[in-house]
């Protein structure tokens, strides 16, 4: 059995005349944190959108845990165990924090995002208990009955991570998990993701903050103009002059 849970093989994606992704080959080892970095417009989010079925590649395949994801619908990919946390928090602001976490738990069980608490009292009780446990895990238990619309950006991000974790992903995709956060909230998010990492869950992270990347990543792939220009450990990437030139105009990372 392969040590790689995600194997992106020769993926190309074009938008009109723009080559957003060109011959992307990327392997993610099980139980690791794999960061994807690069300047704006490098193709990072496009690559994640291909992985979750939001975009179809022009050529190439995405293989996940023995399955070919290419051609599958996003809900099928989610059911297979791939869950994405988007750059802008996507929560239900009119629901409580607890209800926000219960929604994806019901959806994972029923295959729909229809919010119906009347299907089964025993199922609701189990899902509620699981949601409460996840909120305890991410440090939001004391706020669980508050409405989510008034949360800080850092807490909204932790809530969205909780909404992902309750789905029991095999692979968690995080798009800019600390974007727009204060340093305090960024460090709290790093601590949370380290805690998740200790459990062996595989994660792919897109991130601009190098402090976050070097704090979490086991391996880093660098995208520039739709191509992977370097890959390696954090120490290897930190000292790579090609990466320094592409990412920071020659300055050291």
pLDDT, tens digit, for every residue of 161-216? Answer: 999 999 999 999 999 999 888 899 899 999 999 988 888 899 999 998 999 999 99
Residue 121: pLDDT band with limits 50, 70, 90:
low
Q: What is the mean pLDDT of residues 220-232?
A: 94
**Domains of the chain and any CATH numbers:** 1-81+171-253 (3.40.50.300), 92-168 (no CATH)
The token duo for 184 is 């305090």
From 136-150, 174-188, 234-248, the region with the lowest mean pLDDT: 234-248
Closest CA to 101 of 63, 51, 151, 46: 151
Nearest to 83 by CA among 190, 245, 196: 196
pLDDT value at residue 120: 55
Mean pLDDT, all residues of the chain: 88
Q: Where are the extended beta strands (E) located within 3-58?
A: 4-15, 18-29, 33-37
Q: Are 131 and 98 in contact (CB under 8 A)?
A: yes
Q: Give CA angle at 127 (124, 128), nearest 5°.
A: 80
The secondary structure element, H or E, covering residue 225 is none
Tokens linked to 18: 């723009």
Per cent of the chain over pLDDT 70 is 91
- For residue 175, what pLDDT is reported? 93
Q: Summarize pLDDT for 14-34 with one digit per residue, the tens.
A: 998 889 999 999 999 999 999
pLDDT digits 0-9 by tens, 56-79: 999 999 999 999 999 999 999 999
When comparing pLDDT for 157 and 244, which is higher?
Answer: 157
pLDDT at 82: 96
| Share above pLDDT 90 across residues of the chain, in percent, rounded to a whole number | 66
Asked if residue 26 lies in contact with residue 35, where contact means CB atoms within 8 angstroms, the answer is: no
pLDDT for the residue numbered 114: 53
**237: enclosing H helix or E strand:** helix 234-238
Higher model confidence: residue 98 or residue 86? Answer: 98
């Amino acid at each position: 059995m392969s040590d790689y849970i995600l194997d992106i093989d020769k993926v190309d994606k074009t938008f009109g005349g723009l080559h957003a992704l060109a011959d992307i080959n990327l392997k993610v080892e099980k139980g690791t944190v794999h960061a994807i970095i690069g300047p704006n417009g490098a193709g990072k989010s496009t690559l994640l959108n291909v992985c979750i079925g939001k975009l179809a590649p022009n050529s190439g395949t995405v293989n996940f845990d023995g399955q070919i994801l290419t051609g599958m619908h996003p809900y099928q990919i989610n059911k297979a165990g791939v869950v994405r946390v988007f750059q802008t928090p996507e929560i239900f602001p009119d629901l409580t924090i607890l209800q926000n976490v219960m929604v994806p738990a019901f959806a994972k069980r029923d295959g729909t995002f229809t919010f119906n608490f009347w299907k089964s009292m025993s199922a609701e009780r189990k899902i509620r208990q699981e949601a409460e446990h996840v909120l305890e895990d991410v440090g939001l238990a004391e706020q669980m009955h508050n409405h989510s619309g008034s949360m800080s950006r850092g807490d909204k991000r932790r809530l969205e991570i909780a909404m992902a974790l309750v789905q029991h992903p095999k692979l968690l995709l995080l798009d800019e998990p600390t974007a727009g956060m204060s340093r305090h909230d960024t460090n709290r998010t790093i601590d949370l993701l380290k805690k998740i990492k200790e459990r062996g869950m595989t994660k792919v992270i897109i991130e601009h903050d190098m402090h976050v990347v070097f704090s979490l990543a086991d391996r880093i792939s660098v995208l520039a103009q739709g191509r992977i220009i370097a890959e390696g450990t954090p120490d290897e990437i930190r000292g790579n002059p090609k990466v320094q030139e592409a990412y920071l105009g020659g300055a050291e990372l």
